Structure 1
Amino acid sequence: MLRGFYGAGAGMITQQRHSEMLNNNLANAQTPGYKGDNASIRSFPEMLMQAENVGAAPGGRNELIGSMNTGTYMQERTPNFAQGDTRQTENNTDMAIVQGDVPVNEEGNSGALFFNVANEDGDLRYTRNGSFAVDGEGFLTTAQGNYVLDDAGDEIFVNNEEFTVDAGGNVFDDDGEELATIDISFAAAPEDLVKEGDGLLAVPEDEDALPTAIGDDDINYDINQGFVEESNVDLMRTMSDMMESMRIFEANQTVLQAYDQSMERAVNDVGRLQ
């Protein structure tokens, strides 16, 4: 009976974590460039059950009863880096990476492209959120004030003027003079990147920075000015998954309550026999 407690409890914890992930996806469904997470739910290893000393004779034989499942757990949450739809905003500070052909990694998954930005500590970070702005000093920044970086790793100064960006990420002022080239980095295994909030991603500790995609003939992309990439969260599917997760949670809760009532009756019966 105690094993039933553990199995039902594990199922409830799994679905609670799954629901938290789905809620986070929903909360960011309108965030430009947001990549939704997918859950990997697994079962604990099965255990073989056997009955010992079966039979009337002393030292009877052991008989195999069968396997027993000991519950489930959420193994990991993996970001889905599929391209999101682009939406026109006609704001010249908005930019969207439209990903073309890129190399495929050993797992058969396509890599992903990112804007390079500097976080508040000046460390290199990556983002797909191209909803940019120009700060009071004339530098191109993210909505949170992080500087967008060029192919030299420097901040991009546009001097609060109208500017244009071509498909290759080259930035020009009103006179057609080139100001900078927006750096784009390529991640062959984007699922290994670490989410830090505000749409920022970092490489794992002790790993090198992502290589640039500029000049790589195997990587094709366009930067569309006046557009933003929308979140790739599927609202209908996410809502459906949330309802399913809630039903599974409630089913495990019912099982747990049934075990609890059975245990209570067993304890009461033992008390009456004493």
Structure 2
Amino acid sequence: MLRGMYGAAAGMLAQQQRQEMLTNNLANVQTPGYKADQATIRAFPSMMLAAMNTSSGPMNQNKVIGELATGVYVQEHVPNFKQGDLNQTGNTTDLALLQGVLPEGENGVQGGLFFTVTGDDGALRYTRNGQFTVDGEGVLTTSSGHRVLGTDGQALEVGNTSFSVNENGVILSNEGDIIGQLGIVYVENPLDLTREGNGLLTYSGEEAEDFPQAIGMDDITYQIQQGFVEKSNVDPTQTMAEMMSAYRAFEANQRVLQAYDQSLQKAVNEIGRLG
């Protein structure tokens, strides 16, 4: 009986974590470039039950009854790097990265393109949020102040907001002079990136990896749309439906747990009377 209680409790915990993830997705439905998380729920290893000393044969004293599930758990949260819709803002500092043809990696996962910026520690970070601005030094930065890098790995000094960006990411001044080119990197397996806050992603591999620049790669196409930002790819309707599903699954496991609790309470009370 206690095994059933543990299984129901594990199901409640898994649905609670799933609900928290979906709530976070819904809270970021208006965050530019945000990628929705998806929960991977797995079952604990099953137990094989057998009745002891029930077979008549000398070589087989156990009769197999079957498998017993031992509950589920949330293994991980996996971001969905699907392209989000574009929202026109008209701001010259807003840049949307529109992915075109991208190859698939060896694991079957489609690669992804990302802007490169500097983190608080000066190391490389990656983002899909192209809602940029220009700081007091004339450097193109994210809304949280992280400097946007060019293909040469240096911060892009645009001077002011009067600049233009072509489809390839080349930044031009009002006079038509080339200021620099946006550093757009190709990540073969985007699942190697983890969230860090403020829309930034960091590489989570054991060894540092220098991701290649997308410009010049024959099997990759992309466009930079100035005056647009990429919207979150969270589907509010689907997310709310999944939240309701998680809530109902939580309630179902809760009722099972309550039933086990009532059965134990009854057993304890009756045993107490017999004593």
| TM-score normalised by length of structure 1 | 0.96
Q: Which residue does 2:263 correspond to in 1?
A: 262
Greater displacement, 207-216 / 7-16: 207-216
Q: Which residue does 1:34 correspond to in 2?
A: 34
Q: Tell whether the 8 Å contact from 2:55 to 2:63 is kept in structure 1 after alignment.
A: no
The change in CA–CA distance for 1:271 and 1:60 in structure 2 (over 3 A counts) is: farther
TM-fit CA distance, 1:207: 2.7
Q: Tell whether the 8 Å contact from 1:96 to 1:130 is kept in structure 2 after alignment.
A: yes
Q: Which residue does 2:195 correspond to in 1?
A: 195
Q: Tell whether the 8 Å contact from 1:203 to 1:209 is kept in structure 2 after alignment.
A: no
Give the 3-state SS of the residue equivalent to 1:162 in structure 2.
coil
Q: Which residue does 2:77 correspond to in 1?
A: 77
TM-fit CA distance, 1:112: 0.3
Q: Tell whether the 8 Å contact from 1:161 to 1:173 is kept in structure 2 after alignment.
A: no
Greater displacement, 9-18 / 263-272: 263-272
Q: Which residue does 1:247 correspond to in 2?
A: 248
| TM-score normalised by length of structure 2 | 0.95
Aligned-pair identity in percent equals 53
Letter of the 1:176 partner, please give it.
G
For 2:188 and 2:27, the matched residues in 1 are separated by 28
Q: Tell whether the 8 Å contact from 1:33 to 1:228 is kept in structure 2 after alignment.
A: yes
Give 5+ residue unaligned stretches, structure 1.
none
What does 1:16-55 align with in structure 2 at a 5 Å threshold?
16-54=16-54
Letter of the 1:227 partner, please give it.
F
Structure 1 ranges of 4+ moved more than 6 A: none
Q: Does 1:136 align with 2:168?
A: no
Per-residue CA deviations over 1:104-140 (Å, capped at 9, x if unaligned) read 1123221000000001221110000000011122111
Q: Tell whether the 8 Å contact from 1:50 to 1:66 is kept in structure 2 after alignment.
A: yes
Letter of the 1:242 partner, please give it.
M
Per-residue CA deviations over 1:89-113 (Å, capped at 9, x if unaligned) read 1110000111111111123221000
TM-fit CA distance, 1:77: 1.2
Q: Which residue does 1:209 correspond to in 2?
A: 210
Give the 3-state SS of the residue equivalent to 1:148 in structure 2.
coil
TM-fit CA distance, 1:161: 4.1
TM-fit CA distance, 1:55: 7.6
TM-fit CA distance, 1:166: 0.4
Q: Tell whether the 8 Å contact from 2:117 to 2:149 is kept in structure 1 after alignment.
A: yes
For 1:102 and 1:55, the matched residues in 2 are separated by 60
Q: Does 1:106 align with 2:106?
A: yes
The change in CA–CA distance for 1:147 and 1:60 in structure 2 (over 3 A counts) is: closer
Per-residue CA deviations over 1:141-175 (Å, capped at 9, x if unaligned) read 00101000011111111112400000111111111
Q: Does 1:226 align with 2:233?
A: no
Q: Tell whether the 8 Å contact from 2:33 to 2:130 is kept in structure 1 after alignment.
A: yes
Q: Which residue does 2:115 correspond to in 1?
A: 115
For 2:113 and 2:60, the matched residues in 1 are separated by 66
Q: Which residue does 1:170 correspond to in 2?
A: 170
Q: Tell whether the 8 Å contact from 1:49 to 1:65 is kept in structure 2 after alignment.
A: yes
Over the aligned positions, Cα root-mean-square deviation in angstroms equals 1.8
Greater displacement, 8-17 / 46-55: 46-55
Letter of the 1:207 partner, please give it.
A
Give the 3-state SS of the residue equivalent to 2:256 in structure 1.
helix
Q: Which residue does 1:271 correspond to in 2?
A: 272
For 1:55 and 1:220, the matched residues in 2 are separated by 67
Kindly tell me the number of residue pairs found equivalent between the two proteins.
274
The change in CA–CA distance for 1:149 and 1:60 in structure 2 (over 3 A counts) is: closer
Q: Tell whether the 8 Å contact from 1:22 to 1:242 is kept in structure 2 after alignment.
A: yes
Give the 3-state SS of the residue equivalent to 2:53 in structure 1.
strand
Give 5+ residue unaligned stretches, structure 2.
none
